[in-house]
């Protein structure tokens, strides 16, 4: 009997050896001395993406300046100063929409108060521009006109470094970032999320708006800051200066886009998306979501502050109205219309919505708010992935 079982065992071993030789294991384990081969990292942008990026770069840095400064006004190809200011303003809004996509589209945090960070950056730049006026104001004083009108004798303490451009650049980044960090630290540690977080951000923005409306705060009250003359000693109203601001805004938008693209494709970005989809599982896996949410929240606020600083010299005014709840809601609308978690979508949404706003406020100003509300409802019901999602769907069906 033992001879029979021994023969059967030897035949199975032989068959197994032959099977291994003819049909190797599909995923053989690495042998000693061999490393594990990981898949290569995908490029930052596809070939089509880089082509579109370079075309946008050429349009901002070469095409627009030539059409505005070189092509005669009588030519149909001339780009008017109004168009330059309008597109520059919308590019500032697009930076805010991109910042919103980082926290809402990729992290699942809906903020209804990003208008505050936009306005803080704008006020930091506005304070510098007011100091640049010097004695060219209506009252021929070293103090801004609104301070002379209110019978102020000296600058408040928070205007101390407002005459320095380098200090202003620091404040543009530090003030929105610090406010966002402090607010986010307490909110995220308290596990506030969802609609409650959105309501609190809206309340914070509304409270700040009421504060900036008060004359004694030293921010111009209801009128804010306006009548700017120069920036870094250069006249701000010339076409050349406005074009420089336009190009800087475009480069900032494109730079933030590349940075956001890199961020969401990194390990940090993958954790953000995991927090969005299942925060409890992220915590179970050993990650602390608070640090990740706080970092992207602060980064998003800084991006809005930079957008506000670029916005003010191009538009020529900053007042507490920029902190209104409606403005913050519009930022979320831009991201939703374009398509969340796409980066390109919110930028596209900002151009679509604000382009329609510029046309409708002239053609039918009484219907603009109805159009905005109807657009947001239609996107929520019929285009949950936004315009970019619809374009992708059409591309697959074609």
- The whole-number pLDDT of residue 372 equals 80
**pLDDT over threshold 60, residue 17:** no
Q: DSSP letter at 113?
A: -
The residue-averaged pLDDT of 216-243 equals: 94
Judged against a pLDDT cut of 50, whether residue 374 lies above it is answered with: yes
Q: How is residue 62 annotated by DSSP?
A: I
pLDDT at 379: 83
The alpha-carbon radius of gyration of the chain (Å, integer) is: 28
Rounded Cα gap, residues 246 and 253, in angstroms: 11
**E strands of the chain, at which residues?**
225-226, 230-231, 234-235, 317-318
Pairing mode, strands 317-318 and 234-235: unpaired
Residues 335, 383: contact at Cβ < 8 Å? Answer: no
* The pLDDT of residue 7: 46
Bridge-based pairing state of the strands 234-235 and 230-231: antiparallel
198: how many CB neighbours lie within 10 A of its CB?
A: 20
Percent of the chain with pLDDT over 90: 77
Residue 116, pLDDT above cutoff 50: yes
Q: How sure is the predictor about 380, in pLDDT bands with cuts at 50, 70 and 90?
A: confident
Query: 290: Cβ–Cβ under 8 A, 6 or more apart, which residues?
Result: 188, 189
The number of beta carbons lying within 10 Å of the beta carbon of residue 296 is 24
Distance CA 124, CA 225 (A): 11
CA dihedral 44, 292, 119, 354 (to 10 degrees): 40
- DSSP 8-state secondary structure symbol assigned to residue 29: P
| DSSP 8-state class, residue 362 | H
Nearest one of 209, 198, 306 to 253, comparing CA atoms: 306
> Is pLDDT of 74 > 80?
yes
Q: In the prediction, which pLDDT does 211 show?
A: 96
Q: What confidence tier does 18 reach under pLDDT thresholds 50, 70, 90?
A: very low
pLDDT in tens, 309-358: 999 999 999 999 999 999 999 999 999 999 999 999 999 999 999 999 99
pLDDT per residue as tens digits for the range 167-204: 999 999 999 999 999 999 999 999 999 999 999 999 99
pLDDT score recorded for residue 185? 97
pLDDT in tens, 141-162: 989 999 999 899 999 999 999 9
pLDDT tens, position by position, 32-42: 445 555 556 67
**Does 21 have pLDDT greater than 60?**
no
Predicted local confidence at residue 376, as pLDDT: 79
Average pLDDT over residues 57-65: 97
């Amino acid at each position: 009997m033992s001879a029979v079982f021994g023969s059967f065992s030897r035949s199975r071993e032989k068959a197994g050896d032959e099977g291994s030789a003819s049909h190797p294991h599909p995923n053989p384990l690495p042998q000693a001395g061999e490393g594990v081969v990981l898949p290569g990292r995908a490029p930052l942008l596809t070939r089509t993406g880089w082509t579109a990026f370079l075309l946008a770069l050429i349009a901002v840095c070469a095409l627009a300046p030539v059409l505005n400064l070189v092509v005669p006004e009588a030519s149909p190809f001339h780009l008017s100063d109004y168009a330059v200011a309008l597109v520059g303003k919308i590019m500032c809004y697009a930076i805010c929409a991109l910042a919103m996509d980082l926290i809402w589209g990729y992290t699942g945090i809906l903020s209804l108060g990003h208008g505050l960070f936009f306005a803080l950056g704008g006020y930091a730049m506005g304070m510098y521009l007011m100091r640049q006026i010097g004695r060219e104001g209506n009252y021929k004083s070293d103090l801004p006109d609104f301070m002379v009108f209110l019978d102020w004798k000296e600058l408040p303490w928070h205007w101390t470094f407002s005459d320095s451009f380098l200090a202003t650049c620091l404040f543009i980044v530090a003030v929105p970032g610090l406010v966002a960090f402090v607010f986010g630290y307490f909110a995220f540690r308290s596990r506030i999320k969802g609609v409650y977080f959105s309501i609190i951000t809206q309340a914070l923005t509304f409270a700040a708006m009421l504060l900036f409306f008060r004359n004694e705060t030293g921010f111009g009250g209801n009128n804010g800051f306006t009548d700017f003359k120069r920036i870094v000693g250069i006249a701000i109203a010339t076409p050349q200066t406005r074009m420089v601001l336009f190009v800087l805004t475009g480069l900032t938008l494109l730079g933030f886009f590349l940075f956001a693209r890199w961020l969401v494709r990194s390990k940090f970005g993958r954790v953000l998306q995991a927090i969005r989809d299942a925060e409890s599982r992220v915590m179970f896996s050993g990650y602390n979501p608070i640090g990740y949410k706080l970092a992207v929240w602060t980064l998003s606020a800084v991006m809005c502050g930079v957008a506000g600083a670029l916005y003010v010299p191009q538009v020529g005014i900053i007042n507490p109205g920029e902190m209104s709840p409606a403005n913050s809601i519009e930022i979320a609308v831009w991201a939703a219309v374009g398509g969340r978690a796409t980066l390109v979508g919110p930028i596209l949404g900002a151009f679509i919505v604000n382009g329609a706003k510029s046309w409708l406020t002239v053609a039918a100003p009484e219907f603009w708010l109805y159009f905005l509300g109807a657009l947001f409802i239609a996107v929520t019901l019929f285009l949950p992935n936004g315009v970019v999602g619809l374009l992708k769907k059409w591309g697959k069906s074609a």
